[in-house]
Amino acid sequence: MKTTLDLPEELLKEAMNATGIPTKTKVITTALEDLIRKSKISGLKDFKGKVDLDIDLDEIRGRRCLY
């Protein structure tokens, strides 16, 4: 989809240099994907301590109790 945006040129150049991404389109796409990912992670944090998982991590990881 083509969209016209008025972006600060220095900000765009800084983002491209910081990430090593060579194109404006890719750096903007990457930034949007990262924003969405962070938003989803933030939403998951609301469930911290509220979901009771009856799992044994040692068993899942194949560990044995030595004592």
Does residue 64 lie within any of the structural domains?
A: no
Q: What is the pLDDT of residue 47?
A: 78
Task: For residue 5, give the amino acid letter.
Answer: L
The 10s digit of each residue's pLDDT in 4-55 is 999 999 999 999 999 999 999 999 999 999 999 999 988 888 777 777 777 7
Reply yes or no on whether the pLDDT at 2 is more than 70. Answer: yes
Does residue 63 lie within any of the structural domains?
A: no
Helices then strands, each counted (H, E), the chain: 3, 0
Does residue 21 lie within any of the structural domains?
A: yes
Range of the domain at 37: 9-47
Reply yes or no on whether the pLDDT at 60 is more than 90. Answer: no
Does residue 53 lie within any of the structural domains?
A: no
- For the chain, the DSSP string reads --------HHHHHHHHHHHT---HHHHHHHHHHHHHHHHHHHHHHTTTTT------HHHHTT-----
Does residue 62 lie within any of the structural domains?
A: no
